[in-house]
């Protein structure tokens, strides 16, 4: 019953009529559209292929996916042990990521975060994942490269949506103990290694939630440390 109500709730807040209302609010009362950056991912590798190749190269044994939805990625992943967490559908555990991590005792080689695409939740998912990441492991995140202000607007105002995941990547890049990249593939794949930061970002900001799209639009190369898939494979 609770899952049924949750699905109804989610469908209401993702309805086309409500998107139109939120789009109107975004256009008239929030950040204005300053154009597209011009990202083109159509010939880039899919997130599944990226994750699977990393697993194969590193001979990883354990995999955690946060936010499984229709199991588009989760069902395809081939690995010795995998756990998928989603409060509504997909995966192997029906729970919020917060509740999962509170009860979790396992550690993982590869963690893929594709849950709620809002900065504060993504930050929590990253911090929690770091606590359960094996030495030499990797954290990957989806939807790190929005193309325009509507792609990253919070609240969501269109079907295609990256959210403001990018803000969490920017913040992580300022940490000495995290080595962070964004792979130019499949809407932007964030890559986090728990090791010395090789290209630390220096930015004068105290509250990363206050970053605006125009900050990202004019500084995305500096902020996101964008690399090709080929370079990612080399630095693994």
Tell me whether the omega of the peptide bond preceding residue 155 falls within 30 degrees of 0, making it cis.
Answer: yes
Domain annotation covers residue 5: no
Q: How far apart are CA 11 and CA 53, in angstroms?
A: 34
Q: How far apart are CA 169 and CA 103, in angstroms?
A: 26
Residue 159: give its domain's CATH number. Answer: 3.40.50.150
Q: How far apart are CA 92 and CA 65, in angstroms?
A: 10
94 DSSP β-pair partners: 86
Domain annotation covers residue 1: no
Domain annotation covers residue 203: yes
The CA-based dihedral angle spanning residues 65, 66, 72, 76, taken in that order and rounded to the nearest 10 degrees: 10
What pTM was estimated for this model as a whole?
0.93
pLDDT at 29: 86
Question: Which helix (DSSP H) or strand (DSSP E) does residue 121 occupy?
Answer: helix 119-131
Number of domains in the chain: 1
Q: How far apart are CA 85 and CA 185, in angstroms?
A: 24
What is the domain extent for residue 138? 42-235
| pLDDT tens for each residue of 140-168 | 999 999 999 999 999 999 989 999 999 99
Residue 189 has pLDDT above 70, yes or no: yes
Domain annotation covers residue 25: no
Q: Which residues lie below 8 Å from residue 110, measured CB to CB, with a gap of 6+?
A: 51, 54, 55, 58, 60, 62, 63, 64, 79, 137, 138, 140
| pLDDT tens for each residue of 66-122 | 999 999 999 999 999 999 999 999 999 999 999 999 999 999 999 999 999 999 999
Percent of the chain with pLDDT over 90: 89
Domain annotation covers residue 111: yes
- Whether the Cβ atoms of residue 186 and residue 41 lie closer than 8 Å to each other: yes
Domain annotation covers residue 31: no
pLDDT at 4: 47
Domain annotation covers residue 200: yes
Residue 54 has pLDDT above 70, yes or no: yes
Q: How far apart are CA 5 and CA 154, in angstroms?
A: 23
Domain annotation covers residue 11: no
Closest listed residue to residue 87, CA positions, set 16, 152, 5: 5
pLDDT at 9: 45
């Amino acid at each position: 019953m609770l899952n049924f109500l949750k699905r109804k709730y989610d469908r209401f807040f993702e309805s086309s009529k409500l998107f139109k209302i939120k789009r109107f609010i975004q256009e008239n009362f929030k950040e204005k559209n300053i154009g597209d950056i011009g990202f083109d991912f159509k010939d880039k590798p899919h997130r599944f292929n990226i994750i699977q190749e990393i697993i194969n190269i590193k001979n990883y044994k354990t995999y955690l996916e946060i936010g499984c939805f229709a199991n588009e990625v989760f069902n395809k992943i081939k690995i010795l042990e995998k756990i998928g967490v989603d409060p509504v559908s997909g995966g192997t555990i029906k729970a919020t990521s917060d509740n999962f991590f509170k009860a979790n005792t396992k550690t993982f080689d590869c963690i893929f975060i594709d849950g709620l695409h809002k900065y504060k939740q993504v930050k929590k998912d990253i911090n929690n994942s770091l606590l359960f990441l094996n030495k030499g492991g990797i954290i990957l995140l989806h939807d790190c490269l929005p193309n325009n202000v509507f792609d990253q607007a919070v609240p969501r105002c269109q079907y295609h949506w990256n959210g403001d995941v990018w803000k969490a990547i920017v913040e992580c890049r300022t940490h000495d103990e995290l080595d962070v990249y964004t792979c130019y593939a499949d809407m932007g794949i964030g890559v986090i290694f728990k090791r010395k930061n090789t290209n630390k970002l220096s930015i004068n900001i105290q509250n990363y939630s206050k970053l605006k799209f125009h900050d990202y639009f004019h500084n995305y190369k500096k902020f996101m440390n964008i690399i090709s898939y080929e370079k990612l494979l080399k630095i693994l």
